[in-house]
Structure 1
């Protein structure tokens, strides 16, 4: 029986081409307590990496807060507002597998440093344009695309270093805590960004933001891990044909396909649309809270806090195992809570739904990432992670269509509810695919 999906007779390539250790060992160790809670934080190499990742993610969101504000104040362009979302996620869609190939071939430390350097260069360029008063729309478009490319470059190397820092038994802890620290960055990014915007102004605020990228960049000069030390065997080629071969190989693994599809469903059907539509929900719910402004702040905080709470609770309790069934249930719960949020006219119910949905979304994301990493062949792990990032990140660009365009016809409340309902149905379809043949077995 496959330990990842529970299907009798199912053997995945990761069991043979990886380190040679079946996934069963990880699942037996982690939930039964043989791996310490918060194991990744106890690892002296992984701990500063997690904190640096959280700060870099916060800097990413600080830049969004400052630049989006300036762009709207200067141009008042709805088209540019839409391009902000597209430019952030399309590089994930188009380039993640290629960046994954680079992570398979080269030192992941240097790839992450290159991504962080590009983030800092973009922030500095924004600052110079703000300072000189020469910002034009085409400047903004180029910098927005470069920022998205930096995020896509960062992803595969980030996950491969996690696999290098810790053992297979500790990997679920590392992935879960990495997602938690990224959630912390998303949660505090708007707060710190607003403080910099008000305290220093957009120009010096964006310059100050560069400092938050430095801890991760400097730490990577000190660590000996490259993303390849634990299992080795880097591929020599980085090309389109080799990437296509990996895609063909992955297609035959039902568990990997299920996890990648599950992540893609959540991204495409809900994705980034909830945050962009939050002002509408805040206005509709703001009467009960006293004002739309207060409602907006609380809803955003609840949306981010759910991920942080979920990561800490799941890590401390070990309630949820890194298995396909758990990922499917978590994704379905995320869809259900999103439906409740979208259709609820009660402010308190909406806040609770956001928090519970944040917990479920983090559980789904961390489990799918863990299973994909554990089952991916060692020599192609970067490409497989890149393919996962295409689904989990790149498809978020489509949520503007599934929620936004439908919202123009039936309203955002109903469009989000319908999309989330389809997500629940989609989770059921993935379950049928993942466990097909179980009864026969």
Structure 2
């Protein structure tokens, strides 16, 4: 049995031919930018105040643990209700978190537990936003353009990560971090307002179908795992996403102020923003190349595994280097490989997910790809408190590499059989 999926050819940037998708990806990009503006300012201010790698680790855990606990239930809920309303709830929570940071910075009353609560609110906003957006995507673009829609949405995510630090740095230099976070709440409004009347969702679907299953909590997770085990493309990509998230994910970004300090090149604030921007710039380039040259990389589980291995090597080398220019180059390469393997995995999952349980399958993918990132906060973040952030990141990346090699050998043997 082959583990690859043949995709019909489509023109470059096919999803952008649809007006609804233009609005979806535009508002998604703006919200992602605002998400990262909040990260850049709040992480920097909290690091300056508490100097705590453990809080950086908690930032990772609290951001991703809601995905682990609630991705499948939220996916099941999105199968039954209007996903637009779930996204709007996520935007409201994002605005609450940014306004909360602004209040505590303006009044200079931020305590450790305040920061922890705000980080949890931010994480809950993300789980409502991401899963519902991926499900709504199927209403906005036709099936033939879905791979393009997935790639462009992933590219928009990294473009937001790229633009966010630049906008956040500009805000910090002009109006300052305190009132800058208050301004940041405005960037979430376009998505909230557009979805109010956007003609997508259950009541706009022309085709009928079986009624969605009831939301059953833990039983949904167990049943969805049983369903995806019979599909090699679904199972292998959900497993790949989970392994990458468990060991590394983006946990090193929360520790980036520490890496910037250790590299000691010029102003630490500028160094910090440049390191974040290099990672995102590599991902942006990869997304544009993959979309403009649709045949550049064929979506296949074996290819996604190889790209993830290259990502591991790039991050391990970044953790080991003491050269700032080389660190920028390695993070740029890491961004290229991360966008390539993660968007490929997500494309295979969304193309192969059954229509009757699409929300649950996408929720299981998010639970694996995003929820398991909570544990990377332990391996890289809290581990950094014990052995240093350089050793913890290198160890996590190389451990993941060894497991991926074994997984790829196992998949190759299965395909030959």
- Shared fold, TM over 0.5: yes
Using the TM superposition, give the Cα deviation of residue 134 of structure 1 relative to its aligned residue in structure 2, in angstroms.
5.2
For residue 324 of structure 1, the aligned residue among 285, 301, 312 is: 301
CA distance in 2 between counterparts of 1:363 and 1:239 reads 34
After superposing the two structures, state which structure 1 stretch, 338-347 or 57-66, moved more: 338-347
Partner of 2:230: 252
Using the TM superposition, give the Cα deviation of residue 69 of structure 1 relative to its aligned residue in structure 2, in angstroms.
4.0
Partner of 1:44: 19
* SS of residue paired to 2:185: helix
Partner of 2:354: 377
For residue 189 of structure 2, the aligned residue among 189, 203, 214 is: 214
Using the TM superposition, give the Cα deviation of residue 105 of structure 1 relative to its aligned residue in structure 2, in angstroms.
1.0
User: Which stretches in structure 1 are left out of the alignment for 5+ residues?
Assistant: 7-22
Inter-CA distance 283–89: structure 2 relative to 1 (3 Å threshold): same
1:110 aligns with 2:53: no
**Contact 1:111–1:154 (Cα < 8 Å) also in 2:** yes
Partner of 2:395: 418
Give runs of aligned pairs for residues 81-160 of structure 1, distance below 5 A. 81-131=56-106, 135-160=110-135
CA shift digits 1:158-198 (9 cap, x unpaired): 11112222222211111111011111111121221232233
Aligned length: 413
Partner of 2:256: 278
The two structures have a TM-score, normalised by structure 2, of 0.90
CA shift digits 1:203-227 (9 cap, x unpaired): 4322211111111122212321116
Give runs of aligned pairs for residues 153-172 of structure 1, distance below 5 A. 153-172=128-147
**Contact 1:66–1:202 (Cα < 8 Å) also in 2:** yes
After superposing the two structures, state which structure 1 stretch, 406-415 or 190-199, moved more: 406-415
CA distance in 2 between counterparts of 1:385 and 1:357 reads 25
After superposing the two structures, state which structure 1 stretch, 237-246 or 46-55, moved more: 237-246
* SS of residue paired to 2:416: coil
**Contact 1:89–1:397 (Cα < 8 Å) also in 2:** yes
CA distance in 2 between counterparts of 1:259 and 1:381 reads 15
**Contact 1:99–1:156 (Cα < 8 Å) also in 2:** yes
CA distance in 1 between counterparts of 2:261 and 2:61 reads 25
The list of structure 1 runs, each at least 4 consecutive aligned residues, that deviate by more than 6 angstroms after superposition, is none
1:359 aligns with 2:336: yes
Using the TM superposition, give the Cα deviation of residue 83 of structure 1 relative to its aligned residue in structure 2, in angstroms.
2.5
CA distance in 1 between counterparts of 2:273 and 2:99 reads 28
Partner of 1:9: none
Partner of 1:239: 216
CA distance in 2 between counterparts of 1:416 and 1:136 reads 28
Partner of 2:277: 301
RMSD over equivalenced CA pairs, Å: 2.5
Partner of 1:197: 172
Using the TM superposition, give the Cα deviation of residue 96 of structure 1 relative to its aligned residue in structure 2, in angstroms.
0.9
**Contact 1:403–1:415 (Cα < 8 Å) also in 2:** yes
Partner of 1:225: 200
Partner of 2:407: 430
CA shift digits 1:130-181 (9 cap, x unpaired): 4555554444332221111010111111111122222222111111110111
The two structures have a TM-score, normalised by structure 1, of 0.85
CA shift digits 1:65-110 (9 cap, x unpaired): 3333444455555554433222111111111111111111111111
Inter-CA distance 200–406: structure 2 relative to 1 (3 Å threshold): closer
Inter-CA distance 140–295: structure 2 relative to 1 (3 Å threshold): closer
1:310 aligns with 2:290: no
